[in-house]
Structure 1
Amino acid sequence: MTSRDITATAAANHPTSGGNHHHYYPPSNSSSSSSASFRGCCCCLFLLFSFLALLALAVVLVVVLAVKPKKPEFDLQQVGVQYMGISPTTASSAAVSLNIRMVFTAANGNKVGIKYGESRFTVMYRGIPLGRGGVPGFYQPAHSVRRIECVIVVDRVSLLQADAADLVRDASLNDRVELRVVGDVGAKIRILGFTSPGVQVSVDCTIAISPRKQALIYKQCGFDGLSV
């Protein structure tokens, strides 16, 4: 075999790069890339909203520290007896009817307004609830004083004969009836459109009224445990 034949045989057994070859291509990762991009976008949005919320909270805290909000000041100014009647029902009990008009003053010494919720007051005689009265919610501007009127109607509340006799004696003979007025006033501070958490102001007043004069003759009130 000649050298030419050997070269031809080698070329036939080992084809050159110019021949046909089957190449392997890996599968596309476009779906996994889209999913990763979506998760990254959601993470960025979450971080953005968290930053904005923290920024808004920081602004509110700065404003609150600058304003230094205080609780509203309540005071009972007037108490009037519009009607009082006692009628026996049985041998051991009596029915009491009473109309009391109370006037409170609410003083807002803050630099911002206060939003009040509905307030309810209860009148008691010797620990016995006689009646309740309510005051609708309202908004009070900064540095203002507002009068709040509350009428409590006691409609034939049954008392034991002993308590009814004491009430008649206090009203007719002594012209002095001691009552207790309790209630809660809910308030919220309004700052830059934001409403603060509720602030509860407790009202607890011991009063003495004159049925003949229909006037307040004695008053001792506590607001959040502070005597005024």
Structure 2
Amino acid sequence: MTSNTNTYRSSSAASLKGCCCCIVLLFSFLALLSLAIILIIVLAIKPKKPQFDLQQVTVQYINFVSTPTNTFDPLSNTESISLVLQMLFTVKNDNIAGIKYRDSSFTIMYRGVPLGRGVVPGFYQDAHSVKHVKTTINVDRVNLLQSDADDLVKDVSVNDRVELRVLGDVNAKIRIIGITSPSVQVSLDCSIVISPSKQSLVSKQCGFDGLQV
């Protein structure tokens, strides 16, 4: 009787183990099938990279503060800058499917020095559409080297021409018939010139790193 019971338990355990293996294999097959379908759809629609074009830059606030670093040397100062910029991007989707964007961050730099960062919240964009999005970059008393500070003060007060660089990554996924593609990433790199007195963009030159799927 005991032998029969042990045999029954062993048989049940083997059946259960076999059933679990079948379930794992089934889910693995379904995952691979889903991935294959997504890849086929991605290749079929030939996704194009989303176009993030920096359309406008507005200088909302700019201020310099000079702080003495040595009370015995009045010429020994540390310059800090406070700045508020608003950037307007035009986003163009030339795909036959909609695009879902995740949060995208943009860093603004002066002579290689990071000044501040702005974030464009995630959003969805319909196929063959153009959308305008804004981000505000707040620079709160960023300390600069004396040479960079002198150059920036001269650019603002004398030349009325400040050259900046805007760097950022745009992350998105293409959605079609309820299926989401793998991530699409585009890197944005813009060299811009702003006029502090006019509080506007003078010129820009933007480049995009290629599509990555």
TM bucket (normalised to shorter chain) is 0.7 to 0.9
* Residues 163-194 of structure 1, C-alpha deviations (whole Å, 9 max, x = no match): 22211111111110111111111111223333
Q: Which residue of 2 aligns with 1:89?
A: 67
* Residues 131-160 of structure 1, C-alpha deviations (whole Å, 9 max, x = no match): 111111111111111111011111111122
Q: Which aligned pairs between 1:200-219 and structure 2 lie closer than 5 A? A: 200-219=185-204
Q: Which residue of 1 aligns with 2:48?
A: 70
5+ residue gaps in structure 1? 1-26
Percent of pairs identical after alignment? 64
Shift of 1:201: 1.2
Shift of 1:28: 6.5
Distance of 2:112 and 2:134 partners within structure 1: 24
Q: Which residue of 1 aligns with 2:153?
A: 168
8 Å contact kept, 1:116–1:138: yes
The one-letter code sitting in structure 1 at the alignment partner of 2:98 is: G
Shift of 1:127: 1.0
Runs of 4+ in structure 1 deviating by more than 6 angstroms, as ranges, are: 27-30
- Paired residues, number: 200
The one-letter code sitting in structure 1 at the alignment partner of 2:81 is: V
Q: Which residue of 2 aligns with 1:185?
A: 170
The one-letter code sitting in structure 2 at the alignment partner of 1:217 is: V
Change in 2 beyond 3 A, CA 1:193/1:212:
same
Give the RMSD, CA atoms, in angstroms.
2.4
The one-letter code sitting in structure 2 at the alignment partner of 1:148 is: V
Please, which moves more after superposition, 71-80 or 195-204? 195-204
Q: Which aligned pairs between 1:1-228 and structure 2 lie closer than 5 A? A: 31=8, 41=19, 45=23, 48-90=26-68, 91-224=76-209
Report the TM-score when normalising by structure 1: 0.77
Distance of 1:147 and 1:204 partners within structure 2: 18
Change in 2 beyond 3 A, CA 1:71/1:225:
closer
Shift of 1:34: 5.4
5+ residue gaps in structure 2? 69-75
